Amino acid sequence: MQFSPEIYQGLIPAVFSPMFPNGSLNLDLIKPLVEYLLSEKVGGFYVCGSTGEGPSLTCEERQAVAQAYVESAAGRKPVIIQVGHDSLREAGRLAEHALSIGADALAAVPPVYYKSASLKGLMEGLKEISSAAPQLPLFYYHIPRLTGAEVDVVELLRLGQEQLPQLLGVKFSAPEVDVFQECVELFQGKFACFFGRDEMLLSGLMAGATAAVGSTYNFAASLYHRIFLAFQTGDMVTARKAQREAMDMVRILLKFRGQPAFKACMQLLGLECGPCRLPLESLSAAEFAELKAKLQALKYFREKETHPEN
């Protein structure tokens, strides 16, 4: 079985699961979100990950969100569905559904309550998920800050190369750029390695990334496109300046608890993605006003106001 890592390029936003004020899903907003992101020249869609609040949704809700994104993308860019679950049976059910609706690939975060005691155990879990949809490639979602799974990703890919032909790569959402570079260089052409730290994108590009998955690409894609273009043309002064803008933005967003602030940014763009699911707390009106003022002081958001078509 052959899967092609080359089709995954550029900025791939980890998309939202939009909600109404009462917390129910607002599936009708997904098509406008997809059209907006396509106009921002994204390279694909990563669905039901951390930004999509996948762990806080029921399996039925995750299936509904996945189907809405696949239908809205309509084959124009690849759609990756994150199916990880503490129950591998449920993860397999989500994988089977992703296959049935025409998704392009799967991703899976490992179980976080009962953690795998070994790399062998983790690989057996990935095999079980993949067996439910063996026609789809699978990405391992490495985000130890949230999962507590301190996995040797290099060894995971090496083991996957031998035992799991569906494994196509990793979404690497950790700060160890040296490990990411090792993954890229050891398995070049065999695996797609997505860099997953927006505030460090330039470092990821220096380490060999050709694709990146992130939250802030939903509302700041043009800023990150500048980083990509400047890096590709060897203009490191411009690349570093743009990366500094991204760092300043992310620093502000993290002070407002990350995910609630990300959704607030979409509201600033006129794409109301609604509240967060508990236990995440949405921003209060006062917090939203403070965040808006801080973001409007940044060069990127000033440019968005001056050139709303960007």
What are the pLDDT digits (tens) for 62-101? 999 999 999 999 999 999 999 999 999 999 999 999 999 9
Band of residue 301 on the pLDDT scale cut at 50, 70, 90: confident
Mean pLDDT calculated for residue range 34-57: 98
pLDDT at 250: 97
What pLDDT is recorded for position 214? 98
Q: Of the candidates 141, 124, 194, 131, which has an alpha carbon nearest to the alpha carbon of residue 166?
A: 131
Would residue 141 show up in a list of annotated catalytic residues for this protein? yes
Residue 113 is among the residues annotated as catalytic for this protein:
no
The model's confidence at residue 55, banded by pLDDT at 50, 70 and 90, is: very high
The total number of residues shown for the chain amounts to 310
Report pLDDT digits (tens) over 217-249. Answer: 999 999 999 999 999 999 999 999 999 999 999
The CA distances from residue 52 to 13, 30, 49, in Å, are 10, 12, 5
Residue with tokens 């690939």: 105
**In angstroms, rounded to a whole number, what is the distance separating the alpha carbons of residues 241 and 119?**
40
- For residue 188, pLDDT beyond 80: yes
Residue 32 has pLDDT above 90, yes or no: yes
Residue whose token pair is 């730290």: 197
Q: Closest by alpha carbon to 74, among 51, 97, 45? A: 45
Mean local confidence (pLDDT), 112-129: 95
Cis preceding-peptide flag for 175 (omega within 30 of 0): no
Q: Of 211, 216, 288, which is closest to residue 247 (Cα–Cα)?
A: 216
CATH superfamily, region 7-236: Aldolase class I (3.20.20.70)
Q: What is the pLDDT of residue 4?
A: 85
In this prediction, residue 2 carries a pLDDT of: 58
One of 77, 171, 294, 304 is an active-site residue; which one? 171
Does position 309 have pLDDT exceeding 80, yes or no? no
Q: What is the pLDDT of residues 200-220, one digit of tens each?
A: 999 999 999 999 999 999 999
Structure tokens given for 235: 């203009």
pLDDT per residue over 266-286, tens digit each? 999 999 999 999 999 999 999
CA–CA separation, 92 and 158 (whole Å): 23
DSSP-assigned beta bridge partners for residue 172:
142, 195
Q: What is the mean pLDDT of the chain?
A: 95
Contacts of 284 (CB under 8 A, 6+ apart): none
pLDDT range class, residue 300, cuts 50, 70, 90: confident
- Per the CB < 8 A criterion, the answer to whether 43 and 301 are in contact is no
Which residue of the set 8, 46, 140, 141 is catalytic?
141
- Cα separation, 106 vs 96, whole angstroms: 10
Say what the pTM is: 0.96
Q: Is the pLDDT of residue 308 over 70?
A: no
User: Predicted confidence band at 310 (pLDDT cuts at 50, 70, 90)?
Assistant: very low
- The DSSP code for 80 is E
For 10-24, 43-57, 162-176, 292-306, which range has the lowest pLDDT when averaged over its residues? 292-306
- Residue 6, judged by CB atoms within 10 A of its CB (0-12, 13-18, 19+), counts as exposed
> And the tokens for 20?
């109404």
Pairwise CA distance, residues 110 & 116, whole Å: 8
Q: What is the pLDDT of residue 189?
A: 85
